[in-house]
Amino acid sequence: MSRNSFGTLFCLTTFGESHGAAIGGVVDGCPAGLTVDVSYIQKELSRRRPGQSDLTTQRKENDTIEILSGIFENKSTGAPIAFLLRNEDHRPKDYDELRNVYRPGHADFTWEKKYGIRDHRGGGRSSARETAARVAGGAIAKLFLMEKDIAIKAYISGIKNIHVPLPYTQLDLSAEENEVRCPHKETSDRMRQLIEKTKENGDSVGGIITCVITGVKSGWGEPVFDKLHAMFGHAMLSINACKSFEIGDGLSSTLRLGSENNDTIGQKEKETNHDGGIQGGISNGRDIWFRVGFKPPSTISIPQHTTDIEGNEIVLEAKGRHDPCVLPRAVPVVEAMAALVLADAYLLSTTNRL
């Protein structure tokens, strides 16, 4: 059975395909009485939408949201909030030549082996187009968290071998001033040049997004199977092209001694945050921060060897519209999934004790 829902009490279910009539979702479990600013949801969708700069795919989708239920006079009613995003620039005929071809790096082969059928039009349900519905649902979760004074900010901290030289504590994360979505100007300029050069060569490039969350109180998260950092990992690794997740110092903490790595609490001058704001699977009241790694997009213009459904070897040279780097558009997706995790974690935390 295919599962298209995320969350326990605050739950998002998404539907739709890349080149179908529309995509959309249903948010179930949002408490009644939340002021829902649709213009804010639209702004979040605009951060993710294609065609917003020359660094992204030139598919033109306005991603205008249509609220179908669950909101009355700008307030959530407690009923499921259903929304729709119509596909306006879908070109299914562009993919006719891929009907019998498995694209390298894509889910074409595995999807067909699982279901016995696949939508060859841009990957159908496996396309990153589906993440627009996540951003819309995540925006509702963000509005809910804002009521709790919780802020979520993600940014690009690395692309290929170019990395921001400063920790997030020394960066201004309050504004999103450039198309690369990197808060360090010198690094942002170098990243842009790399993406542009990679695009000219018909290739693609990957990198790292860092996410910082402030305002989460201590005590959120379930301490065994649904540890808070495990839920973040589940959320992030479900995003298209995501290949890694590190909470706090992650792998670098394995190089230290325990005396060097243990976080302290209560001694301000000695406080550290190696654990990323989570201990024992439960938030400790500090900033939550983690890194998410994204692979280079699989669709490139360089000829690649692959096979067709009969097992014949062929050479495929992809045509059409694609992102040379997914990271600028993935930033709001990371924030949306983080918001869905936290909205759910908050509601679950209210059930822990009398």
CATH, residue 281? 3.60.150.10
Q: What is the pTM of this model?
A: 0.93
Q: Tell me whether residue 354 is in a domain.
A: no
The CA distances from residue 42 to 135, 266, 273, 278, 329, in Å, are 10, 41, 34, 32, 15
- Cβ burial of 255 (10 Å; 0-12, 13-18, 19+) is exposed
**Structural domain that includes position 83:** 5-349
Identify whether 78 is part of a domain.
Answer: yes
DSSP 222: -
354 residues of the chain, pLDDT tens digit each: 568 999 999 999 999 998 888 999 999 999 999 999 999 999 999 999 876 666 766 566 788 999 999 999 999 999 999 999 999 866 666 666 778 888 888 888 888 888 888 888 777 788 889 999 999 999 999 999 999 999 999 999 999 999 999 999 999 998 776 889 999 999 999 999 999 999 999 999 999 999 999 999 999 999 899 999 999 999 999 999 999 999 999 999 999 999 899 987 765 555 789 999 999 999 999 999 999 999 999 888 888 888 888 888 888 877 666 789 999 999 999 999 999 999 999 999 999 888
Token code pair at residue 83: 């929304």
Is 250 contained in some domain?
yes
pLDDT at 24: 97
Structural domain includes residue 262: yes
Tokens of 294: 């994204």
**Domains in the chain: how many in total?**
1
